[in-house]
Amino acid sequence: MNPIFLKPTLKTLIWGTEQWGISGHPSGDDEILNEEFAGKTLSALWAEKPELFGNVSGDRFPLLTKIIDAKADLSIQVHPNDEYANKNENGSLGKTECWYIMDAEEGATIVIGHNAKDSSEVKSMIENKKWNEFIRVIPVHKGDFFFIEPGTVHAIKGGTVILETQQSSDITYRVYDYDRLQDGKPRQLHVKQSIDVIKAPFENKEAPLNNEKTISESKNVRQLVSCEFFTVWYAKLENQLSVEQNYPFLLCSVISGQCEFAGKKLAKGDHFILPSGFGKAEFSGNAELIFSSL
């Protein structure tokens, strides 16, 4: 049984770049690089070879891994949950996501949460454009981690690079976009939808964990979050690392350094999937990796 290697989808946007490293979403359906699946995309492989993914139910590959390189600030935004997205966005999934900060310039910040005391104040602050009062800006450093539930106001800001693990959804509601123009016109905002879904007041909660979900006995591997949609682990590879794949599938991204795995030399920005039943995976080299599964 072989790992499934992917060719990421690259996107250039008004604020920087996105690499959709593991994606079966229609907006960026990654090509499979393995010879036995030549020409297929991840969504096609999910549909045609469900046994590779533990025969997990669902009509779409459920997760999406991105590397986001923000040269400028992203919009102030919020995502809906499954119920709201299914009803209002043609059956889409909602968007629960998390960020591992791969790099951050000195003094970099991000937006997580807001300062409104209730939903009526959310509406008032947005409609009256009280952005400095409304948004909650915090410092960010390399190695930080953030779990972002639907209904959380957030924004990646310039000078940060993140590895994002999320539900396979492309639904984003822009609350505010700094009055920027794209092709001579203001970018579309989604004020009504944003007010509908923003949770108030904001609660700054720790990421949930599940100690029963493990992939390695190494002290260099730690769980970052475990929620109903995904579990994510960080691993620091120092010479050798063994990972046990006992999940329907296990996603892997190299976020720094270089390593060897399955006869291939891998570096930052390489992504692959360990299919169901893969068992033990042996890595060598010096690198940082992010793993995720259901």
- Just list the catalytic residues: 174
Which tokens in the block code for residue 33? Answer: 């690089």
Cα 23 to Cα 271: distance, rounded to the nearest angstrom? 10
Cα 290 to Cα 66: distance, rounded to the nearest angstrom? 11
